């Protein structure tokens, strides 16, 4: 009863996952102060050579935020998991230096497939009495399968909550459009990327109902959203699709599915050891909602997991060491680590400024600032000394040379306000939004990862950094300068 009351009173613009955690995080104001105190509070950094050493800053962080733990358990797990993905499978793959599974389309269910489905259901806290599960080749396949099956002919409205362009979502928006459906998206304020609540609430309380596609967290900006949006949609007759693909290992335990019971859930397991296939996606369907679905025109994308042909791993044994490692680390420790690291790097990026009197900020961070409830992703742009943004793709390529994995994305569905909208139209003729660099943190990210990211971005304080990189590229006898 207490958890239910807490959720009922939750703010629409914040994620109410903390009441569902075993322990509550510290208040946002105290947490922000602690993060600020861990990185030379009265100092800005204008020279990449002036950054304090990582050991000093790690000691300062652990002193300011005692709950942070650079756990040796996480370090051990790094050898057995891809620390960006969910890491479903075991370190036996790494030991054997081989692929662990392959796909087949059709055929009898293998023991490997059955065991994987069981482990996924357990991970997602789903009961086999309530949900059925299919595995697909990727996230786009899962969205496409549901799009083909959902009765958009009779329930024509599709509403989504994404602050970025999503290729995976496109099959669903196309399917709704072919049926003459009405597609609408939530809009987000600039630059914090909060849901504009009044507009979304109005959409969900109209008579035109259908499917509400809702992620608890943006995989680009790290913004988190309240569970109550699912509740509001359900109360007004919508079917609810929960997109849990952006959630990291163990965060599934905070979903409170026993309270909300979404009709459909999509969850992605990607970047597992091996080459193609590098992972798979899951579509869970609540059995009481299955009757509304029609048979899809094709089963394209539905897969059966089979042992890789040359694998020495027996089909009869499946060991899921990845999530077992996560179980050992524990929810509180994992969520606390990611919370500290992502907020530290957000704060650190904002302390980089171009040299000179009144020097401009080097980095623009979009989405939540230092907040106890932000997710493990950061969207940002690097700006030169004139305030012009460096092309995100260029930042990504230069990061690759330093063995730092960054992504690029496009923030969309944004309400800039009148002045900002006019300025943006002059710069972006074809599309309304902002291209960004993205960084994602997972359960096995550590302080070294975020420090290396910060130190890399700081190199742009040198006005000649890009030109020097071009010269270095050609000096290595490369014939093409891709930057």
User: pLDDT digit of tens for each residue in the chain (483 aa)?
Assistant: 333 333 233 333 434 433 333 344 556 678 899 999 999 998 999 999 999 999 999 999 999 998 786 654 555 555 444 445 555 565 555 555 566 778 888 788 888 899 889 888 887 778 899 999 999 988 899 999 999 999 998 888 999 999 999 988 998 999 888 888 889 999 999 999 999 999 999 999 988 899 999 998 899 999 999 889 999 999 999 999 999 887 655 555 555 565 778 999 998 887 665 566 778 899 999 999 999 998 876 677 899 988 877 655 554 447 666 666 666 665 556 677 888 999 999 999 999 999 987 789 999 999 999 998 888 899 999 999 999 999 999 999 999 988 898 999 999 999 987 545 445 444 444 447 899 999 988 766 889 999 999 999 999 999 889 888 877 766 655 555 455
Instruction: Report the pLDDT value the prediction gives residue 301, as an integer from 0 to 100.
Output: 82
Instruction: Report the pLDDT value the prediction gives residue 293, as an integer from 0 to 100.
Output: 93
Question: For the stretch 266-283, what's the b/e string if a residue is b when 16 or more beta carbons lie within 10 angstroms of its beta carbon?
Answer: bbbbbbbbbeebebbbbb
Instruction: Report the pLDDT value the prediction gives residue 369, as an integer from 0 to 100.
Output: 92
At the second CATH level, the architecture of 82-326 is: 3-Layer(aba) Sandwich (3.40)
The rounded distance, in Å, linking the Cα atoms of 330 and 223 is 23
- DSSP code at position 147: H
Instruction: Report the pLDDT value the prediction gives residue 11, as an integer from 0 to 100.
Output: 37
Q: What is the DSSP string of 225-254?
A: --THHHHHHHHTT-EEEEE-TTPPTTGGGG
Q: Is the peptide bond before 323 cis (omega within 30 degrees of 0)?
A: no
Q: Where are the domains of the chain?
A: 2-75+329-475, 82-326
Task: Give the E-state strand segments of 226-333 in sequence order.
Answer: 239-243, 264-269, 280-286, 304-307
The rounded distance, in Å, linking the Cα atoms of 10 and 12 is 6
Instruction: Report the pLDDT value the prediction gives residue 18, as an integer from 0 to 100.
Output: 35
Instruction: Report the pLDDT value the prediction gives residue 426, as an integer from 0 to 100.
Output: 40
Residues 337, 338, 341, 347, CA torsion sign: negative
Q: In the numeric block, which tokens belong to residue 298?
A: 């094709």
Fold designation for 2-75+329-475:
3.90.1150
From the list 212, 211, 216, 210, the residue with the least C-alpha distance to 124 is: 216
Mapping DSSP to helix (H, G, I), strand (E, B) and coil, where does residue 208 land? Answer: coil
């Amino acid at each position: 009863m207490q958890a239910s009351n807490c959720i009922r009173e939750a703010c629409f613009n914040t994620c109410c996952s903390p009441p569902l955690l075993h322990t509550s995080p510290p208040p946002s104001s105290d947490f922000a102060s602690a993060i600020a105190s861990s990185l030379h509070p009265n100092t800005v950094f204008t020279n990449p050579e002036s950054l304090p050493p990582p050991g000093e800053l790690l000691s300062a962080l652990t002193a300011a935020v005692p709950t942070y733990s650079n756990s040796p358990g996480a370090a051990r797990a790094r050898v057995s998991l891809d620390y960006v993905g969910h890491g479903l499978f075991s370190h036996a793959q790494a030991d054997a230096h081989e692929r662990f599974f392959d796909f087949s389309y059709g055929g009898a269910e293998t023991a490997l497939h059955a065991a994987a489905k069981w482990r996924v259901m357990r991970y997602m806290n789903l009961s086999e009495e309530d949900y059925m599960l299919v595995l697909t080749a990727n996230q786009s396949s899962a969205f496409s399968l549901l799009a083909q099956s959902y009765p958009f002919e009779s329930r024509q409205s599709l509403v989504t909550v994404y602050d970025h362009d999503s290729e995976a979502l496109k099959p669903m928006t196309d399917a709704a459009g072919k049926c003459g459906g009405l597609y609408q998206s939530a809009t987000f304020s600039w630059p914090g990327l909060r849901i504009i609540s009044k507009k979304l609430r109005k959409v969900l309380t109209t008579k035109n109902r259908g499917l509400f596609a809702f992620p608890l967290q943006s995989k680009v900006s790290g913004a988190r959203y309240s569970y109550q949006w699912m509740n509001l949609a359900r109360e007004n007759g919508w079917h609810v699709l929960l997109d849990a693909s952006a959630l990291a290992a163990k965060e599934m335990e905070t979903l409170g599915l026993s309270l909300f019971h979404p009709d459909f859930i999509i969850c992605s397991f990607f970047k597992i050891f091996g080459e193609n296939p590098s992972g798979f996606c899951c579509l869970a369907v609540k059995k009481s909602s299955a009757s509304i679905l029609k048979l899809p025109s094709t089963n394209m994308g539905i897969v059966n997991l089979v042992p890789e042909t040359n694998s020495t791993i027996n089909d009869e044994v499946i060991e899921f060491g990845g999530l077992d490692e996560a179980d050992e680390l524990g929810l509180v420790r994992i969520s606390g680590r990611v919370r500290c690291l992502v907020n530290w790097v957000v704060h650190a990026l904002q302390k980089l400024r171009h040299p000179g009197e009144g020097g401009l900020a080097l980095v623009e961070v979009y989405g939540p600032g230092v907040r106890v409830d932000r997710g493990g992703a950061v969207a940002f742009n690097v700006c030169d000394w004139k305030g012009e943004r460096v092309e995100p793709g260029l930042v990504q390529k230069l990061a690759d040379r330093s063995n730092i994995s960054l992504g690029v994305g496009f923030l969309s569905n944004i309400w800039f306000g009148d002045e900002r909208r006019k300025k943006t139209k002059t710069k972006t003729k074809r599309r309304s939004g902002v291209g960004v660099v993205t960084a994602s943190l997972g359960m096995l990210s550590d302080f070294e990862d975020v420090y290396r990211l910060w130190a890399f971005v700081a190199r742009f304080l040198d006005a000649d950094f890009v030109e020097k990189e071009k010269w270095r590229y050609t000096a290595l006898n490369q014939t093409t300068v891709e930057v």
